[in-house]
Structures are given as C-alpha cells and as structure tokens.
Amino acid sequence: MSAAPTRIYLDGNSLGPPAPGVKERLASFVTDEWDASLIGGWMGHGWWDMPTKLGDRLGALVGAAPGQVIVAESTTVVLYKLLVAALKLRPGRSWIVTEEGNFPTDRHIIDGIASQFGAEVEAVPADQIISSICDGTAVVCLTHINYRSGFRLDMAAITAAAHAKGAVVLWDLSHSTGAMDLYLDRDQVDLAVGCTYKFVNGGPGAPAFAYVAERHISTLAQPITGWIGHVDPFSMSEVFEPDPTIRRMLSGTPSVLGMVALEAALDTWDGVDLVALRARSVELTERFIALADERLVPLGFELVSPRNPDDRGSQVALRHEHAYGIIQAAIAAGVVGDYREPQLCRFGFAPKYNTIAEVDEAVDRIVSLVERGDHLLAAYAVKKKVT
Ligand SMILES: *Cc1c(COP(=O)(O)O)cnc(C)c1O
C-alpha cells in the first residue's frame, strides 16, 4: 500500500472523536480561566455550576426536563452511587434483576453491592427480564443497549413492568446517549446513568451523568456523602446534610478539566434533532447489515446483532473465527472497529458523523483484506491489553 488509507472510524461507540473547537477551548481554559483567575474561577467562570449546567444539556439528549441530571464521576462510580440509593428506596425488598451478559463493570458493581448490602442478584436473558420481576424485586438494573450484540431493550415496557411490581428501575444509557431519541421523563424512569465519551464525544474518561427523576430527588440517599453534596459545603459543618437538589449526587470536587472538554462537545449537540439522528443511525446499520449479508457472510461472518432495527442500537456485531485478526488487519487498512470476546467484530455507527459512503468503503476494505488473507498474519495474532 502506498499512502495511508483514509480513516473510517467505526468505534465512536467506544470513544468518540474530539469535538471541533475542543483544543482551543482547553487551551483558553488553562490560560484565561485557570491561570488568570485561580481559585476565583469557581465563581468567576462558573465552574461551581458546571455539573448541573452540563447535566441539563445532557438532559435534553435523554428526554429529561432540567434539574434532574448532573455530571459527576465515571459511569462505574455513578452506577454504584445510584444503585445503593435505589436499594434504599425499597427497604424490605432484596432482589436486583439484571441481564445476563450485561457490561462487566455493571455486573461487578451489582454483585459487589449485593454482597456489601445483603441483596441477591438475578441475571436473566433479555426475554426473561419482565417475567423475573416480582414482589421481592427492589431494583431492575439494566443497560439499554447491549455492548456486545447491540440488542436494545424496551425501556418503556420494562420500566412499566417494574413499576407494576413496585420496583424501581436504573438504566445504563452508555451506548444510547447521542445515538438516538430517549424519553426518560415520559417513560417514568426512576434513575439512569450514562457515559459521555462514547457517542457524545466528551473525551477519554469524560465524566458520566446521573439522572434522578424529580419525584425521588428529595429522598434519594446516595452512599458517598462528601462535602460537595452537602447543602452548604463552605459552612464546613461536620454534620452531613444533603443538598435538596440533584447536587446531592455529588461527592467531592468535580473534574473541571473533564467538564470543559465535555462542554465543548455539548456545544455541537445544541439543536440536534434526535429523531432524525436515530433515523440516520438505522439507515447506517441497515446498510451495513445488507452489505454484510451479501459480501461478508460468504467469507465466514455471522450476524450477531438483531435484524429488526427496533431491537437494535447503533452498532453491529459480526462473529468470525478470526475476528481478532480481522479487526487488527482492518485497523491497518484504516477501518477502525473493535474486538470483543467471544470472536466478535464490533462496528459502531455514529449517526452524528458517519456516512453511507463510509459504510460502503469499510465493507469493501474488509472484503479485500479477508480475501488477501491479511487477517491471518502473525503480527495480528497477539492480543493487546485494549482490544
Ligand atoms: C462504556 C460503558 C461503561 C464505562 O464505564 P467507565 O466507568 O467509564 O469505565 C459502563 N457501562 C456500560 C454499559 C458501558 O457501555
């Protein structure tokens, strides 16, 4: 190959690219805010209010009215805080229902909390979630879009079924936010967490968000009761009294640098029509699946994602016995997807920037590299730490 091939990025479901303007925004933050104002920046540049300001903007992406979303730590930590709080909303009930094959961090947090707080975990296949919810269920804790298959759970139906049995729901929106229209308020979701470095493009390790429905805020007791979640941090009181608003979800000093990059990303989301965005996402995944059926299945690939777009998020997984080598060879050919156990090639389609032409070109390149046998090269057999 002569010149390096143009990059086709189909991994925006794992880490989105930098937003236009983020470089300048970060540079100006360091010079004009941090260095210029130092401690005065908390009030002078509004750092103090960033968790809720950005939260409200993320709320617009998930169908939440202002005052219910806040930006805090990582998805993992926010999930921990919300799940403990959720259990406390249902004293006397001890079961947490989740999906078998949920994302590992979600499962580790669920299992860890169960052992710390004496709860029980029931992990079931997607089609058994609703029938598993019973009078002993405290929380139904699910990821909306399965990270492997891209299977999309029915948020409204599962939430209603949980409520019918008196349970609360906690949704993880990591693979949904920024890829589709969502309706947390309309669907009466209780609690949700989401990642901002995937389709939202907030940057590696960007802060996650928590959603707490208005009706729960004043009673929600999250377990990491630090001074920033106190009603009056600078009273320096030794007695914890939670902030009456969504700010009670905070614990310690938030990462302003992380929020500045996220803010630059959110500037690109203002006014985005989420229904049109979802339509675009469906168009991209439908096109990829049609081409995969025609050209990749004969080469040993098998579709793992749902065929019905209503059951699908914005990614497509294909199984192949040489999946790892294929992803490595594809990356060398400029098509960036990722590998997930077991034997899955995973391709994310970001409706914000991916195009149909990119889908076509990506399939062309994958067909060529498999026909040439590039994926069998020894160099592509060694597994890296990040796949
Ligand atoms: C990406 C993702 C996470 C990420 O958690 P971190 O705390 O940011 O590492 C968690 N849960 C799900 C379902 C994800 O897709």
Q: Can you give the pLDDT at residue 387? A: 80
CB 186 within 8 A of CB 64: no
CA–CA gap between residue 40 and residue 375 (Å, rounded): 55
Q: Can you give the pLDDT at residue 262? A: 98
Using the structure block, give the residue that is written with the tokens 């929106």: 173
| Centroid of ligand 1 to alpha carbon of 357 (angstroms) | 30
| Centroid of ligand 1 to alpha carbon of 106 (angstroms) | 8
Structure token digits, residue 171: 């949704």
Cis bond upstream, residue 244 (ω within 30): no
C-beta atoms surrounding 27 within 10 Å: 10
Q: Which atom of ligand 1 is nearest to the CA of 75?
A: 7
Structure token digits, residue 5: 């091939």
The closest residue, in CA terms, to atom 1 on ligand 1 is 174
| Centroid of ligand 1 to alpha carbon of 197 (angstroms) | 9
Please pick, among 9, 29, 80, 103, the residue that the annotation labels catalytic: 103
Using the structure block, give the residue that is written with the tokens 């077991």: 342
Q: Can you give the pLDDT at residue 2? A: 55
147 C-beta closer than 6 A to ligand 1: yes
Q: Which amino acid is at 253?
A: T
Q: Which atom of ligand 1 is nearest to the CA of 78?
A: 7
Q: Can you give the pLDDT at residue 383? A: 82
Q: Can you give the pLDDT at residue 5? A: 84
177 C-beta closer than 6 A to ligand 1: no
288 C-beta closer than 6 A to ligand 1: no
- Three-state secondary structure of the chain: CCCCCCCEECCCCCCCCCCCCHHHHHHHHHHHHHHHHHHHHHHHCCHHHHHHHHHHHHHHHHCCCCCCEEECCCHHHHHHHHHHHHHHHCCCCCEEEEECCCCHHHHHHHHHHHHHHCCEEEEECHHHHHHHCCCCEEEEEEECECCCCCEECCHHHHHHHHHHCCCEEEEECCCCCCCCCCCCCCCCCCEEEECCCCCCCCCCCCCCEEEECHHHHCCCCCCCCCHHHECCHHHCCCCCCECCCHHHHCCCCCCHHHHHHHHHHHHCCCCCCHHHHHHHHHHHHHHHHHHHHHHHHHHCCEECCCCCHHHECCEEEEECCCHHHHHHHHHHCCEECEEECCCEEEEECCCCCCCHHHHHHHHHHHHHHHHHCHHHCHHHCCCCCCC
| Centroid of ligand 1 to alpha carbon of 195 (angstroms) | 6
CA–CA gap between residue 1 and residue 362 (Å, rounded): 16
Check if 103 is active-site. Answer: yes
Q: What are the mean pLDDT values of the chain's consecutive 10-residue runs (387 residues total)?
A: 82 96 96 98 97 98 98 98 98 97 98 97 98 98 97 98 98 98 98 98 98 98 98 97 98 98 97 97 98 98 98 98 96 96 96 98 98 92 82
Q: Which residues pair with 121 in a beta bridge?
A: 96
Q: Which tens digits make up the pLDDT trace of 69-89?
A: 999 999 999 999 999 999 999
Hey, which of 14, 146, 195, 386 would you mutate to test ligand 1's pocket, going by the most ligand atoms within 8 Å of its Cβ?
195
CA–CA gap between residue 370 and residue 372 (Å, rounded): 5
Q: Can you give the pLDDT at residue 4? A: 74
Q: Which tens digits make up the pLDDT trace of 127-165?
A: 999 999 999 999 999 999 999 999 999 999 999 999 999
The closest residue, in CA terms, to atom 10 on ligand 1 is 75
The overall longest dimension of the chain from CA atoms, in Å, is 69
| Centroid of ligand 1 to alpha carbon of 125 (angstroms) | 20
Q: Nearest-CA neighbor of 74 among 105, 37, 44? A: 105
CA–CA gap between residue 160 and residue 129 (Å, rounded): 12
Check if 198 is active-site. Answer: yes
Counting every residue written for the chain, the total comes to: 387
Q: Can you give the pLDDT at residue 385? A: 82
46 conformational bin, left if phi > 0, alpha if psi -120 to 50, beta if neither: left
Exposed / middle / buried, residue 63 (Cβ in 10 Å: 0-12, 13-18, 19+): middle
Q: Which atom of ligand 1 is nearest to the CA of 205?
A: 8
Q: What are phi and psi of 122, to 5 degrees?
A: -120, 110
Predicted TM-score of the model (pTM) = 0.97
